[in-house]
A and B are shown apart, each in its own frame.
Chain A
């Protein structure tokens, strides 16, 4: 047990934080430049110059480029049509085609966003170049500079670490408590306990408190690892993090114990725990943003304890939110903890 408790957080943090990143580097691009003009070359060099794209293939045939994509050698095709520069000069507008391999929707979205960014940049350069000096002064002022608050470099590690710490505490808490009572049922020790005058609330409390301490310890350990290895910012109050974590762990343990009282074998309990865990994690806002979910899913997320806690963790750790800022989520967790533990106590039957 002890090695698991120590090894799991380190491995999870190191592997997940590096692997579960949304940054895309080295997007392989196939270029079909039919125009062969100065402008088209300028555009291609813009792509080449960005850290995201690498020209992996050039040709003059769309079919050939398509085949390369089919083989999986390129991720995106950029086609610059004949007359690109001419149209640009004459009609002040022109077209290019970008074909993206969208097997992975998330990465396709990113490739598209990166490409648009580069095209816009190119556009701006053109405007500056072709405008007469008189009109130039007027347009030069309009420039969009994106500014990312609380995570200025859009560092995904910073963004992921709080979420992964939440996952860590959740997995440990849910599985430990979920296996617990059901394990006593399997071994038969519960039989001996049930004939004693021990009260239900005492029994459940005896199960909750040790796991609560273990889970909080895990979180502390994870925070230390996160600070030392990834230097994640901890802007907010550390005590606020632990207060929220303490409440959140009660919710998770209560959930696990409830599962444990309702199942008869560890296998059943494991399956049920995983079922809820996967749904809760995927809907937690860790990998996808909750705001982009359909409305019904957002409503359903009110029942998702992980979503509350990830929100709190990110707000406090990255943004330095105060108690007032997170109190709504915090109170929701308190209500959740009371509710779920009460149900677990009520569901635990000493008599069948």
Chain B
């Protein structure tokens, strides 16, 4: 016997009310996940002068910043694989980072004061990022100078690789590392973005 089409349709009815219910329930889930220590990776997207940035944080701190060219979905998949699949869209968890980045891009912040989780960088790459964290706003250093500063003067190319794989660009300022001959070198967010950041920092100098 053919089922009553009306009953089937009503069973499967999922009007706008259900969609708004999911939005509300999602917020509840974020709160519950957070209080049960199950929000391993929170993320949001922030609009900036260099395009939408994906920001992701663990309870330990900011773990990832990604440019659109890197593919936000691919980066989230990577976080799910390398950090934890408990990845949720939780914008409020990124409020401090979003606020400081906004201040930075409007020329009102010269130094980030955010907890960082650098678990995605190991060994030599981690050493490079630690050193870069103290590289002042508006200044630059050559790849060779960074290599020398951390006691591996021959590891110039490895410094380039460390910059190219920086999990938290902008906040850890790998854009301040340039070529010895004055060229900009490469950048994880594209060369144009590197020029924008360097110009921003040059222009905002007192």
Do A and B bind? no
